[in-house]
Amino acid sequence: MTELLKILAIALITVIAHLIVRQTKPEIAMIISIAGSVIIITLAVNSFSSVINSFYHIFNVTGVNTSLLTPLIKIIAIGYIAEFGANICLDAGVASIADKVLFAGKLIILLLSLPIVTTVVDMVVGLL
């Protein structure tokens, strides 16, 4: 809860600073927005360790190979990073680049998901 309040405070400060600076220096306002976003993401990622521990617990209880956890975490991270990058492009008014960032993120996620899909198929075949 306190982490969310910190994030909200940083978001409000960033938005207010952006709105004030945007009138005179739009290029600086964009930098302020990006800096605030990076701080917010850093705070959010710091609380991600509990999620990773939960994944390890689920993998251990189900007997699934924990080596699949690394690609899973990478897939989640790539999804968020691609969305973050695309939103920066949209804020800058370049929607066509935002689309390409999202497309590239999806392709990379597809590539990283192949070992997981292969393992699931092997498990299903092993049950038959």
**Model pLDDT for residues 110-122, shown as the tens digit of each residue:** 999 998 888 889 8
Record the pTM: 0.69
Q: What tokens does 19 get?
A: 């709105």
Cβ burial 54-93 (10 Å sphere, 16+ → b, else e): ebeeebeeeebeeebbebbeebeebeeebebbbebbeeee
Co-location of 31 and 63 in the same domain: no
Farthest CA pair distance, the chain? 68
* Stronger pLDDT, 115 or 47, i.e. the higher one: 115
If asked whether residues 43 and 56 sit together in one domain, one would say no
Of the candidate ranges 12-26, 39-53, 101-115, the one whose mean pLDDT is the lowest: 39-53
Q: Does residue 72 carry a pLDDT above 80?
A: yes
pLDDT for 46 equals: 77
Same structural domain for residues 3 and 35? yes
